[in-house]
């Protein structure tokens, strides 16, 4: 059984390797401000960043401010976001969230986890994305790639995203939290692919504890 100290030591080696593999990763959701990133992140649920980026230019031209979005017609909004999937839930969440920001925060997207997760339709993942890239607050964003690969690397056995986040916070240095998000997402899309992991070419294979697991 690997101790917490041993996990921390191995995690540092993983981080060093990830830095070599993916030195220039960044948030792939295109955005100009907190409002745009907030909406884009809601749209990204069960959808690719590429698809979201195809949708948002026209969306933000139609609704350039959070005040505009807060008063948007829902059917009109759905017309812009339909191709991202789950458009009924996403449209409801976007409208409710933007109304919350306008009514409770004078139109300024708040900058704390507690305030962000108090917004309608905003969970820890969306909040942490905004904290990372708008307010430069270290946070671990647990999407499917981050959770799956963290388990594969033996850093946690948890499957609940919040529990994965808390487990990783105890292991990873805070200064590496933001990069970890992007590097594991990139690794999950290119090498450690869920249905066909390419362990034979993976530069992290010597740091994995055993057979591939989801």
**Structural domains of the chain ordered from first start:** 4-26+140-207 (1.10.1670.10), 34-133 (1.10.340.30)
Please, which pLDDT band fits residue 213 given cuts at 50, 70 and 90? low
* Least confident piece of the model among 57-71, 167-181, 193-207: 193-207
Structure tokens at 129: 């994305």
Which one of 7, 90, 99, 125 is the catalytic residue? 125
Asked whether 171 and 7 are in contact (CB, 8 A), the reply is yes
Please, what is the average pLDDT of the chain?
A: 94
The pLDDT assigned to 70 comes to 97
Asked whether 155 and 210 are in contact (CB, 8 A), the reply is no
Q: Can you tell me the distance from the alpha carbon of 28 to that of 9, in angstroms, rounded to the nearest whole number? A: 30
The predicted model scores a pTM of: 0.89
The pLDDT assigned to 104 comes to 97
- Tell me the mean pLDDT in the region 125-152: 94
User: How far from 171 is each of 17, 103, 147, 156, 183, CA to CA, in Å?
Assistant: 16, 39, 14, 10, 16
* pLDDT one-digit tens code per residue, 9-34: 999 999 999 999 999 888 899 999 99
Asked whether 196 and 142 are in contact (CB, 8 A), the reply is no
Which one of 143, 159, 163, 200 is the catalytic residue? 143
- Tell me the mean pLDDT in the region 133-140: 94
User: H-helix or E-strand containing 38?
Assistant: helix 34-43
Please, which pLDDT band fits residue 91 given cuts at 50, 70 and 90? very high
Structure tokens at 136: 């430069």
Told to judge if 143 belongs to the known catalytic residues of this protein, a careful annotator would answer yes
Please, which pLDDT band fits residue 80 given cuts at 50, 70 and 90? very high
Asked whether 31 and 53 are in contact (CB, 8 A), the reply is no
The pLDDT assigned to 26 comes to 87
Question: Which of these, 22, 27, 13, 23, lies nearest to 173 by C-alpha position?
Answer: 13
Sign of torsion, CA 116 139 124 122? positive
In the predicted model, is pLDDT for residue 211 greater than 70? no
Task: Say which residues have a Cβ less than 8 Å from residue 139's Cβ, sequence separation at least 6.
Answer: 113, 127, 128, 131, 132, 177, 178
């Amino acid at each position: 059984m690997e101790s917490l100290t041993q996990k921390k030591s191995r995690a540092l080696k993983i981080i060093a390797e990830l830095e070599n593999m993916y030195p220039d990763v960044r948030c792939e959701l295109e955005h100009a401000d907190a409002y745009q990133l907030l909406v884009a992140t809601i749209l990204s649920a069960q959808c690719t960043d590429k698809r979201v980026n195809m949708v948002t230019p026209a969306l933000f031209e139609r609704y350039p401010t959070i005040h505009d979005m807060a008063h948007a017609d829902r059917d009109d909004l759905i017309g812009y976001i339909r191709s991202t999937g789950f458009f009924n839930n996403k449209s409801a969440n976007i409208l409710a969230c933007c109304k919350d920001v306008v009514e409770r925060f004078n139109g300024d997207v708040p900058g704390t986890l507690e305030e962000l997760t108090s917004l309608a339709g905003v969970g820890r993942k969306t909040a942490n994305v905004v904290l990372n890239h708008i307010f430069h607050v270290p946070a671990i964003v647990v999407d499917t790639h981050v959770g799956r690969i963290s388990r594969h690397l033996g850093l946690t056995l948890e499957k609940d995203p919040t529990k994965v986040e808390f487990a990783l916070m105890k292991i990873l240095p805070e200064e590496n939290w933001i990069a970890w998000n992007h590097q594991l997402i990139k690794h999950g899309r290119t090498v450690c692919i869920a249905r066909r992991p390419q362990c034979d070419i993976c530069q992290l294979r010597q740091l994995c504890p055993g057979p591939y697991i989801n």
